[in-house]
Amino acid sequence: MAEYVVEFGKDGRRIEPDGRLDAAAFHRNHLPIREVLLRRFAGKTGDVVEAGSGTGQHAVDFARHMPDITWWPSDLNEQHLRSIDAWRAHADLPNIRSPLRIDLSDPAWCPEMQDGRGPKKLLAVFCANVVHIAPWRVTEGLFAGAGRYLGADGQLLLYGPFKRDGKHTAVSNAVFDTSLREGNPEWGVRDIADLERLAGSAGLALAEIAEMPANNLILVFVRKPGD
Ligand X SMILES: C[S@@+](CC[C@H](N)C(=O)[O-])C[C@H]1O[C@@H](n2cnc3c(N)ncnc32)[C@H](O)[C@@H]1O
Task: Supply the minimum distance, in Å, between the C-beta of residue 5 and ligand X.
Answer: 6
> What is the distance between the alpha carbons of residues 38 and 113, in angstroms, rounded to a whole number?
25
* 104 counts as binding ligand X under rule CB under 6 A: yes
The span of 34-42, 122-130, 150-158, 200-208 binding ligand X (CB under 6 A) equals 122-130
Cβ distance to ligand X smaller for residue 14 or 167: 14
* 139 counts as binding ligand X under rule CB under 6 A: no
CB 75, CB 49: distance < 8 Å: no
Using only the alpha carbons of the chain, give its radius of gyration. Answer: 16
> What is the distance between the alpha carbons of residues 208 and 135, in angstroms, rounded to a whole number?
24
* 102 counts as binding ligand X under rule CB under 6 A: yes
* 75 counts as binding ligand X under rule CB under 6 A: yes
CA 5, distance to chain mean position in Å, is: 15
* 80 counts as binding ligand X under rule CB under 6 A: yes
Site map for ligand X, 39-68, x if CB under 6 A? -------------xxx---x----------
Q: Which of 206, 120, 154 is nearest to 41 (CA)?
A: 154
Cβ distance to ligand X smaller for residue 57 or 70: 57
* 81 counts as binding ligand X under rule CB under 6 A: no
For 33-58, b/e burial (b = at least 16 CB within 10 A) is: bbebbeebbeeeebbbbbbbbbbbbb
* 217 counts as binding ligand X under rule CB under 6 A: no
Site map for ligand X, 15-44, x if CB under 6 A? --------x-xx------------------
DSSP at 16: -
CA dist list (Å): 149 to 130, 145, 165: 19, 6, 29
The residues of the shown chain that bind ligand X, judged by CB under 6 A, are 4-5, 23, 25-26, 52-54, 58, 75-77, 80, 102-105, 128-130, 133-134, 138
